[in-house]
Structure 1
Amino acid sequence: MTDAVSQPDQPETFQGGQSDLFSKFDPLIQMRENLLASGVEDPFGLVMERVLSPTTAICNGRETILLGTYNYMGMTFDPDVIEAGKQALTDFGSGTTGSRVLNGTYAGHRAVEQALCDFYAMDHAMVFSTGYQANLGIISTIAGKGDYIVLDIDSHASIWDGCKMGDAEVVPFKHNDIEAMEKRLKRIPEGAGKLVILEGVYSMMGDIAPLKEMIAVAKKHGAMVLVDEAHSMGFIGPNGRGVAEDQDCLDDVDFVIGTFSKSVGTVGGFCVSNHPKFEIMRLVCRPYVFTASLPPSVVATACTSIRKLMHAGDKRAHLWENSRTLHAGLKDAGFQLGTDSPQSAIIAVIMPDLERGAAMWEALLHEGLYVNLARPPATPANMTLLRCSLCAEHSAEQVQQIIGMFKRAGAKAGIV
């Protein structure tokens, strides 16, 4: 009798001989089991029992500082935002139960799209149910079979999925490498449709793209440009419009993708554009047409938050101060960071491996600090990261507390 272990190409079977479609996940299942067997808490199963503010919550029965929520501008507990959501819930009910092209467009949906147009000083705005859907919908609709997409290798999963769904030819290039991007563009056949996709801030390492130079190269080769500003909208730039505004090249961007689940403090996604034909997207973009629209209470909170972010210069300045202070404090303590200097509200702390990263994550949680444990394959170069995302509502005292927590946890976990 042949030992099944000696036949790796045969699919695993269960329940009357059916092939087990879950067998492809066995390595990940084993990795998780090994991690939990070492005695650490499940870093991907944390429950927040109560959220007290944008910067604190009750986790495992104790008050915990939040440093992994992407709540960059701290709008989740803004009194005006909360009141707007309550009023919309009273006036319009809990949901639309329909698509935007059917019964799912309420006054609030038009209002939040107008707020986005005003925020970005652009002509058109289109709101999706999530930021993921915004990338999925816009990319898959505008770039299809026969077109070419040139994108950074470190692009977000939603960008890659949008490329796959649209069936365009995908041409990746080395992260933030302008020369590599231009080489790819030069090889595209003359007359083919071209879309260059970039991100303002890359969410794993917190580094920014040289958008001004990259967009100039893209335009030289006749490509349209889409920039995902999910992690910079509201914070970076004089008016919070993102890295493209900060680098004075926003007028050269054809499509800006963003999300409500970061600085805006709720949920949803959007695309803004000045393209004169953009409104046809409402009839041809499947992830927009074939999904229910956001609840009235959500668009009301988003609209109020966006309009307040237009006048949030002091909050932006304080968040930058927090980022500089934390980056310097962790660097001085001996931690290896993802960037040489603070470039955004994200600070990535590089861990030696997943096991010690999980141990450090748990040590921080016991100190009363929550951060994100990021692991391969989501991370660049298969790194394990502790990803910190600062908030404009973190006080200077809290940032100093955080530095002390990292020092103590790092010594306990043997990281520093």
Structure 2
Amino acid sequence: MALFDKLASAAAVRRDVISSGGLVPFGVTVERILSPTEGMVAGRRVILGGTNNYLGLTFDPECIEAGAAALRSEGTGTTGSRMANGSYAGHLALEHELAEFYGWPQAIVFSTGYLANLGMIGALAAPGDVLVIDGDCHASIYDGCKLSGAEVIRFRHNNAADLDRRLARLGERAQNALVIVEGIYSMLGDQAPLADIAAATHRHGAMLMVDEAHSLGVLGANGRGLCEAAGVMDGVDFVVGTFSKSLGGVGGFCVSPHAELGLVRYTSRPYIFTASPSPATIASTRTALAALRSRPQLRQRLWHNVSRLHAGLTAMGLPPAAEPSPVLAVLRDSRDQALADWQQLLDAGVYVNLMVPPATPGGISLLRCSISAAHTDAQIDQILAAFRALPGAGHAVAGQAALA
């Protein structure tokens, strides 16, 4: 039983956060999905306010039909990795379309967004190299760093000056360094100061990777993410992203202006040894990417909803932790308060994400909303009404001052 000893702390956390209603916030079962914005949880109809379904494409008729057609014609799965029997024409077509979307020559599709980070970092860096990452980077980035065996240096979150100092200390070793940041950070919804980060990176001869998981389809004139919005497409070496947010599917990718990206296929263990995405997944993703490109009104509607919710929360004294983005995090004073508030919101018919330490930066506890283009004004109003009923609404929250 010694192998289970290390799980004791996880069991204690689980006991501590079980709500009075018997629900575990970190494993809620959505018993039935009714639409991109509604589902059944614990036998009640709720608004889904924490799904990352930014463009609302999970129920798009064209995406569904593309997936269904591929399922009928190509079967349920590839049953093999990309290096064995798992590269179909659809995989190659999606890679071509992603590369064309970014205006770059190369793209690689992975089975998940997590594997995209794991596979790219593990292939690009090795012992003797240096990975310089934002301290608030996603777990998949940290895991990729471990896989690589490279030296890892963290710089202060969104602090380009600290990045510059740490690269300067590396001297010539900076030329063997890869800097990794995110476009929109998934917990607080804040954006990287990407122009300053790119300038610092290139000043020292390092390379730059940006994870646009939460910013693809959200930022930029064409939805390419923060790299486009910040005007630094020419200053980025690798963009990693996922299909599981704005594109409403499962999978991940990397695009790059460097022709050498193609060599990653022969060195990336998560690419070589993982079954490739199913034909239906690829087909629906290709259709979703086409929708992202041809229907800017989706992005416009998303930002309408983001602005409406951000303004409403701010007006009631619960300002989100960062500037407007599809991720709106409301800080609470303690884990217990966050848990109680999460349950109250659910009882009011609104499901959001409960985030508590150690998953959150700085030991904070928060209620995380992620907004969709598919939310209606009435649903945004219902979310606001549920938050307005929380204890402390209408007054400043202590956690907000602490973050500032």
If the TM-score is normalised by the length of the shorter chain, which range does it land in?
over 0.9
> 1:121-136 counterparts in 2 under 5 A?
121-136=103-118
1:72 and 2:54 are equivalent in the alignment = yes
Which stretches of structure 1, 4 residues or longer, exceed 3 Å deviation after superposition?
37-40, 409-412
Is 1:373 the counterpart of 2:354? The answer is: yes
- CA distance in structure 2 between the partners assigned to 1:93 and 1:218 by the alignment: 45
User: Which of 326, 339, 363 is the equivalent residue of 1:358?
Assistant: 339
Is residue 2:246 matched to residue 1:266? no
SS of 1:195 mapped into structure 2: strand
Give deviations 1:379-400, integer Å, cap 9, x for gaps.
1101111110000111122111
Partners of 1:226 and 1:271 in 2: CA distance: 10
What residue is the counterpart of 1:253 in the other structure?
Answer: 236
| Offset at residue 32 of structure 1 (A) | 2.0
Match of 2:378 in 1: 397
When the two chains are superposed, the root-mean-square deviation of aligned CA atoms in Å is: 1.6
Alpha-carbon offset, residue 411 of structure 1: 6.1
Matched, 1:103 2:85: yes
Q: Secondary structure of 1:373's partner? A: strand
> Cα offset for 1:45?
2.4
* Aligned 8 A contact 1:351 1:415 in 2: no
**How many angstroms does 1:44 deviate by?**
1.6
Residue in structure 2 matched with residue 337 of structure 1 by the alignment: 320
- Give 2:315's aligned amino acid: D
- Taking the aligned partners of 2:18 and 2:359, their CA distance within structure 1 comes to 20
Mapped partners of 1:280, 1:324: distance in 2: 43
| Alpha-carbon distance in 1 for matches of 2:358, 2:11 | 14
Identity of aligned residues (%): 48
Structure 1 residue 277: deviation in Å?
A: 1.4
CA distance in 2, matches of 1:378, 1:61: 28
TM-score by length of 2: 0.95
Determine if contact 1:40/1:359 at 8 Å carries over to the other structure.
Answer: no
SS of the residue 1:230 aligns to: coil
Q: Give the secondary-structure state (helix, strand or coil) at the position aligned to 1:137.
A: helix
| Contact map agreement 1:367 1:409 (CA 8 A) in 2 | no
Return the index of the structure with the highest Cα Rg: 1
Match in the other structure for 1:5 = none
> Do residues 92 (structure 1) and 74 (structure 2) align?
yes
Give the letter aligned to residue 392 of structure 1: A
CA distance in 1, matches of 2:368, 2:164: 31
- Does the C-alpha gap of structure 1 residues 91 and 327 become closer, same or farther in structure 2, counting only changes over 3 Å? same
C-alpha deviation, 1:117, in angstroms = 1.3
Unaligned runs of 5+ in 2: 398-404
The one-character-per-residue Cα deviations of 1:124-172 (angstroms, maximum 9, x if unpaired) are 1101110000000000110111001111000000001101110111010
1:364 and 1:405 in contact (8 A); partners too:
yes
Q: Give the letter aligned to residue 401 of structure 1.
A: Q
**How far off its partner does 1:322 sit?**
1.0
Contact 1:73 1:392 in 2 (8 A): yes
Q: Of residues 202, 210, 213 in structure 2, which corresponds to 1:230?
A: 213
Kindly indicate whether the alpha-carbon contact (under 8 Å) linking 2:310 and 2:319 is maintained by their aligned counterparts in 1.
no
What is the aligned counterpart of 1:148 among 122, 127, 130?
Answer: 130
SS, match of residue 86 in structure 1:
helix
2:125 partner amino acid: A
Of 260, 264, 273 in structure 2, the residue corresponding to residue 290 of structure 1 is 273
Q: Which moved more, 1:47-56 or 1:24-33?
A: 24-33
Instruction: Tell me which residue corresponds to 1:6.
Output: none
Q: Cα distance 1:190–1:106, how it changes in 2: closer, same or farther (>3 A)?
A: same
CA distance 1:157–1:394, shift in 2 (3 Å): same
- In the other structure, the counterpart of 1:220 is 203
Give, as a single letter, the amino acid of the residue that structure 2 aligns with 1:125.
A
CA shift for structure 1 position 283:
1.0
DSSP 3-state at the match of 2:259: coil
Deviation, 1:24, is 2.6
Residue in 2 that maps onto 1:279 = 262
The one-letter amino acid paired with 1:373 is L
User: Structure 1: 5+ residue runs without aligned partners?
Assistant: 1-13, 15-19
Residue identity opposite 1:163 in structure 2: C
User: Residue type matched to 2:152 in 1?
Assistant: V
Distance (Å, rounded) in 2 between the aligned partners of 1:54 and 1:37 = 26
